[in-house]
A and B are shown apart, each in its own frame.
Chain A
Amino acid sequence: QQPVQSPQAVILREGEDAVINCSSSKALYSVHWYRQKHGEAPVFLMILLKGGEQKGHEKISASFNEKKQQSSLYLTASQLSYSGTYFCGTDSGQNFVFGPGTRLSVLP
């Protein structure tokens, strides 16, 4: 079962903040976040494990609410280099599935 991501796309000005959400209908062991720039491979950003921990990577952080099977990716003070498609990947213990992606465009 593919997780749901929202929004599908978001356009920001440099310096603005954004939140990308990922939700699953299954109980999850972990959630991964990846960023894929146009024409490139997806790059691993971080993993969130059961326990609701929050993680950070540069000015990008994420949280995981295991009771709601939801994760959110927070991008603060966005930079032009943050543009790309963000994928969550969910591990239910039975399989690992990527979400459909959220396209983020950061404009100067």
Chain B
Amino acid sequence: DTAVSQTPKYLVTQMGNDKSIKCEQNLGHDTMYWYKQDSKKFLKIMFSYNNKELIINETVPNRFSPKSPDKAHLNLHINSLELGDSAVYFCASSQAGAPGYTFGSGTRLTVV
């Protein structure tokens, strides 16, 4: 009965590889997000989708491409991984009129 689940939890990969992180929420929320948390713990918004439509696309390299097949899923694909991409990536969801974001447990990406 996990509310926001993301997989995998850990991802170790070499520079130059392509990888994907998947996120699913069963809360019926209409908006989903990808956040990046760096080693200094800064939580930075990357993307936001509302009902499958991209509404926030911060200054993120175009190697990062989100995809939302339906409003319960938001995946993140990263091409040509670089060392600086190493971070914890959190998926989150929210519902208009209801306070707060619900975060997934995070994916720790390590690029070597």
Q: Which residues of A contact B (CB under 8 A)?
A: 32, 34, 36, 40-44, 46-47, 85, 87, 89, 95-98, 100-101
Across the interface, name the chain B residue whose C-beta is closest to A55: B99
A61 CA to B90 CA, complexed, in Å? 26
Q: Kindly provide the distance from the CB of A31 to the nearest chain B CB, expressed in whole angstroms.
A: 11
Give Cα A41–Cα B4 distance, bound, in whole angstroms: 11
B40, B56, B90: the one contacting A42 at CB < 8 Å is B90
Q: Is the CB of A42 within 8 A of B103?
A: yes
Residues of A within 8 A of B41 (CB): 36, 85, 100-101
- Chain A binding site: helix, strand, loop or mixed by DSSP? strand
Chain B residues within an 8 Å CB radius of A96: 45
How far, in angstroms, from A97 to B90 measured CA to CA in the complex? 15
Chain B residues, CB < 8 A from A87: 43
**Is B66 an interface residue, CB under 8 A from the partner?**
no
Inter-chain contacts of B40 with A (CB < 8 A): 100
Q: Is the interface of B mostly helix, strand, loop or mixed?
A: loop
**30 examples of A-B residue contacts, CB within 8 angstroms:** A32-B99, A32-B100, A34-B100, A34-B101, A40-B105, A40-B106, A41-B90, A41-B105, A41-B106, A42-B43, A42-B90, A42-B101, A42-B103, A43-B103, A44-B99, A44-B100, A47-B99, A85-B41, A87-B43, A89-B101, A95-B56, A97-B45, A98-B42, A98-B43, A98-B44, A100-B41, A100-B42, A101-B41, A101-B42, A101-B43
Q: How many A-B residue pairs have CB under 8 A?
A: 41
Least distance between B19 CB and chain A CB atoms (Å): 20
B residues apposed to A, CB below 8 Å: 40-45, 56, 90, 99-106
CB distance from A39 to the nearest CB of B (A): 8
Cβ-defined contact, B104 with A41, below 8 A: yes
Q: Which residues of B contact A85 (CB under 8 A)?
A: 41
User: A89–B42 Cα gap in the complex (Å)?
Assistant: 12
Additional pairs, 12, CB under 8 Å, beyond known A42-B90, A95-B56, A98-B43:
A32-B100, A36-B41, A41-B106, A42-B43, A42-B103, A43-B103, A44-B101, A46-B99, A47-B99, A47-B100, A85-B41, A98-B44
